[in-house]
Structures are given as structure tokens and as C-alpha cells.
Amino acid sequence: MNSRRHFLKKLTSAALAFPSVVSVAAPGTFQISSFSADVTVPVGHGMMGGLWQAKSIADPLLARGCVLLGGDKPVVFVSVDWCEIRNDAYERWRTVLAEAAGTDPARVLVTSIHQHEAPVVDLSAEKILRERQLSGSICDLDFHEVAVQRVAKVLRDSLPKARRVTHLGTGQGKVERLASNRRYVMPDGSMRFDRGSATKNIFAIEADEGIIDPFCKCLSFWDGDTPLAALSSYAIHPMSYYRTGEVSSDFPGLARSQRQKDLPGVFQIYASGCSGNVTAGKYNDGTRANRQILADRLHAGMKLAWENTKRQPLTKLDFRKSEVIFPPRPEAEFTIAALEKKLTPETKVWDQCLAAMGLSWRRRLDAGKPVDIPLLDFGPAQLLLLPGEAYVEFQLAAQKLRPDSFVMTLGYGESATGYIPTEKHRQENDTNLHDWYWVGPGAEEQLLAVIRKVLAVR
């Protein structure tokens, strides 16, 4: 711990000694810089919010992103191989990276890929546990700061190397035999919601895929005929096997790495779409060999999206955002008083962590602090970032609202909401909506209204 603090002190001092140097594109021109940093948690760190701990490192966790220059102010996009970034941790990422890029925190779009052999970070929740000297632990506060500063440094270092962007590429490719909805229909017509990331339940395997978005989308940035960077996205929970303690970026990390090998001169970023209710369960039995099989299927979709890419001149880079304050869960066990009662040594460690995260969220709501819904508008294409584990229906709705355009919708921005279901799922008693679900009735209507607003749909 002391060595980590020493490193943090040195890194923070270096950041203060070297202020941001932003490469500013001339009016009417655009530039992009790209960056990557290792944000692998140490052995012993909590996984998935403290449900289990890291025992070994199977492969590194990365934060990969880009800075887009030429709009009113720089825009930062970064996709992180973590499960979730919540509340003040999310604000810390945006604040530090904004300072490094010379922009506003609102213009820093941070998304988690949502692998489960990876951390959830919520600084307030961790402090709540430490203040009460409880055994539960969600995240390491010192490591989190080191990781954020490390990403800020590589971002800052990338800016003088920014390259001209003249064209935007858009493409999509169908992904075969990978995604399936958690909801499926039994032979007797009854509904079940238990098709997880892996299953050996024959009914869940034989049922149809359900509601998914079958396409992998790709946004790419070009200088003339030279491709510079590609952002690929697909809506699926990114887990093959997990709860082993083997830290991993899982099958999306493998697919992303293969694309980087395919196109070494094109910086590859991957982000998860809205997939709170979409898993690989129909096609995944949880065996170790299946991780590579799933990666190969995702890679094939990413490759096809690239091959189907069409380019057009980039003439626009607009940033818009709206805000929403979601309603809290109304049930008695989610009140502040009930959550406080669970924060005792007698409570199970996992329940301590859940209560601390729930309390962190409730304090945020009571303070009237909204969740941002940001959007980048390139003219013929839009990049929309939604919070938490938004269900895939929101992604499909965004596309339907703008059928004239290429809409890439991502999930897992500010993730303190947990699941964001549709009202239909609530009425059908979706059994996933238990403890990892912190928004109340009305959330669907609120989120759809904000999506319409930022997409400029009248």
C-alpha cells in the first residue's frame, strides 16, 4: 500500500508539473489522438463490487480511447475494461481527463465494457464501508486514483501526436450465434428471465434468441484513404466464464486484440451496447474453451462491419447533452434508513457492499445531482452514451427514432443506476430486477424523453 501511495504522489506531482498541451485544430478541420493505458487491478481487489476477489491476472485490463479536436472544445471518449464506474468515481474520471485534454468534464464520455472479472468502482460507497470499519470492500481508493492519473498521462501525451481527420466511416455487420435475451418462453408459454451469461438449461438453449440487436456497428476516422481509428460496439453482456478470480477482459478483449493485429495501423476501441438484458447464454455453456469461440464470433462481426464501411467527408462535430434525475426504488428495503441498518458487521459482506452502493446512489439523488446523457453528432452519424445497464430496447428505440442516420448507442456510462428496464419488464416481474437495480417506476419514460431530446427528434 505504501509503494502505491508513493507512486500516486509521484504521478500526481508530474501531472501538476506538466499542464495540458492541447493540439487545437484550425476552424473547419478535425484531428484525433488515441491512447491506451493498463488499468489492471491488483490481486486481492474486489471483483464485480466485492462479490469475490482477484486471485490472478489472466490478461490485462485496458482503458482505450481517443480525443476528438475541431469542435467547440475537445471531446474525450474512453472505454474501460471494468465492470462499472459509479457516482463520484465517474466524476473523478471525467474531471481528471477533462483537465488533461483542456475541456469540460461533460465532454468526457466514459463507458465501461462491463466484464465481471473486473472491478466496480464507487468511491463514496467504499468510504461508507471504511467509516464503519466493515469487512466489505468494493474498490481500492488509492489504486483507483493511480489508474485515473495513468490514463490522464497517456491522454496528455497523445495530444501533440494528433492526426488530421477528413472522413468518417460507418459500417455494420451481423454477428452470428452470440447474443440472446435473458427473457425466453417455456414450452408451456410461461416466461422466464434466467438465461444468464452461461447456461446448461436446455429450455434456455433451445428457445429463440429473443429481442437483441444482431449488428455490430463500427465508427471509423480517416485521413483521406488512411484509416486512423475504429470504434466497434455490440450489445451483449461480455462474459464467457467468471467468478474465478482470474482478472480478464474476456471475449471482447480477445476480439479487440485480434482486430488490432488485423489492422496494426488502426487504433481499435471496443464498447458495449445497451445490454442489461442481453447475454451469450443461448450459445455459452460456461466452459473455458468457449471464451475463444465467442471472441471469434464477435471478431467476425467486427471484421464484417469494417468491410461494410462507407466513408464520407467529416464536416461536423457537435456535442449535446441532457440530464435526468431518476426516481429511486420505492420499496421499503431501498430507503436510506433500511440501507443504513444493513451496514453492520453482522450483515454478510456482499450485502454490506450492496447497501453501501445503494446508499451512495440515494445520497446522490437526495442532493439533486443528475445523470448526464451525452451525444456526439457527426451529421450522418450519432454516438449516444446511456447510463447503467440500460436494456437493449433503448438502443433499438434510438435507432428507430433516427432511421435516416447511423446511430451507435452505448450503455454503461454513469453506472450507479444498475439495470434500467422497460416498464413491460417490471410488469412481467423480470426476476433480474432484484438487488442490482436502483431506479424506480417511470425511468423508461424519462430516459426515452432524454434520448429524443439529444437526438434532436421533434
Q: Which pLDDT value is given to residue 33?
A: 98
- Domain extent listing, the chain: 29-458
* Per-position b or e across 44-79, b if 16+ CB within 10 A of its CB: ebbbbbbbbebeeeebebbbbbbbbbbbeebbbbbb
Q: Which pLDDT value is given to residue 28?
A: 57
Q: How far apart are CA 220 and CA 287, in angstroms?
A: 34
What is the pTM (predicted TM-score) of this model?
0.94
What does residue 303 show for φ and ψ, rounded to 5 degrees?
-65, -40
Q: How far apart are CA 332 and CA 216, in angstroms?
A: 41
Are 309 and 220 spatial neighbours (Cβ–Cβ below 8 Å)? Answer: yes
User: Which amino acid, one-letter code, is at 154?
Assistant: V
Question: SS in 3 state form for the chain?
Answer: CHHHHHHHHHHHHHHHHCCCCCCCCCCCCEEEEEEEEECCCCCCCEECCCCEECCEECCCCEEEEEEEECCCCCEEEEEECCCEECHHHHHHHHHHHHHHHCCCHHHEEEEECCCCCCCEECHHHHHHHHHCCCCCCCCCHHHHHHHHHHHHHHHHHHHHHCEEECEEEEEEEECCCCCEECCEECCCCCEECCCCCCCCCHHHHHCCCCCCCCEEEEEEEEECCEEEEEEEEECCCCCCCCCCCEECCHHHHHHHHHHHHHCCCCEEEEEEECCCCEECHHHCCCCCHHHHHHHHHHHHHHHHHHHCCEEEECCCCEEEEEEECCCECCCHHHCHHHHHHHCCCCCCHHHHHHHHHHHHHHHHHHCCCCEEEEEEECCCEEEEECCCEECHHHHHHHHHHCCCCEEEEECCCCCCCEEECCHHHHHCCCCCCCCCECECCCHHHHHHHHHHHHCCCC
Full pLDDT tens readout for the chain, 458 residues: 444 444 344 444 433 333 333 444 454 599 999 999 999 999 999 999 999 999 999 999 999 999 999 999 999 999 999 999 999 999 999 999 999 999 999 999 999 999 999 999 999 999 999 999 999 999 999 999 999 999 999 999 999 999 999 999 999 999 999 999 999 999 999 999 999 999 999 999 999 999 999 999 999 999 999 999 999 999 999 999 999 999 999 999 999 999 999 999 999 999 999 999 999 999 999 999 999 999 999 999 999 999 999 999 999 999 999 999 999 999 999 999 999 999 999 999 999 999 999 999 999 999 999 999 999 999 999 999 999 999 999 999 999 999 999 999 999 999 999 999 999 999 999 999 999 999 999 999 999 999 999 999 87
Q: Which pLDDT value is given to residue 55?
A: 98
Q: Which pLDDT value is given to residue 27?
A: 47
